[in-house]
Amino acid sequence: MIYIAYGSNMNLEQMSKRCPNAKPIGKYLLKDYKLEFWGVANIIKCKGETTPVALWEITDECERSLDRYEGYPRLYRKEYIKLNINGKEQKGMVYVMNYGKISVPSTYYYNVIEQGYKDFDIDVKPLEKALKESQLK
């Protein structure tokens, strides 16, 4: 299964601990989604926005581990998004928060995500933008 990560699970070190059998596929731009901080990372549907994400190939065991980490189904729910990878349409699974409001993440948590952006060679500007917007609320 393809797993779409936009928060701390972009971080190679974090994922190696949570899901040692996960294999990084690469970076991807998720269209019509916006990254926000609700204390932790979340994405919301937002026409015209794009959110950089990391794609992983995960096992059933990885998914169970991620379910526990993400507080599924109470804190996060699963959504399935169509992806176009190398001209081939595939479905990816992503965790989206069930409730919350914009609030500033901890410095530690932000830095873990920032390292994930670097791990996947992703420009940190969208991450910085989400942090700035969380500080304005």
Domain ranges of the chain: 2-125
Which fold does the domain 2-125 belong to in CATH?
Hypothetical upf0131 protein ytfp (3.10.490)
Question: How many CB atoms lie under 10 A from the CB of residue 128?
Answer: 13
Per-residue pLDDT tens digits for 16-39: 999 999 999 999 999 999 999 999
What is the mean pLDDT of the segment spanning 84-101? 95
Q: Is the pLDDT of residue 5 over 80?
A: yes
Q: Which residue has the tokens 């901080």?
A: 37
The pLDDT value given to residue 30: 97
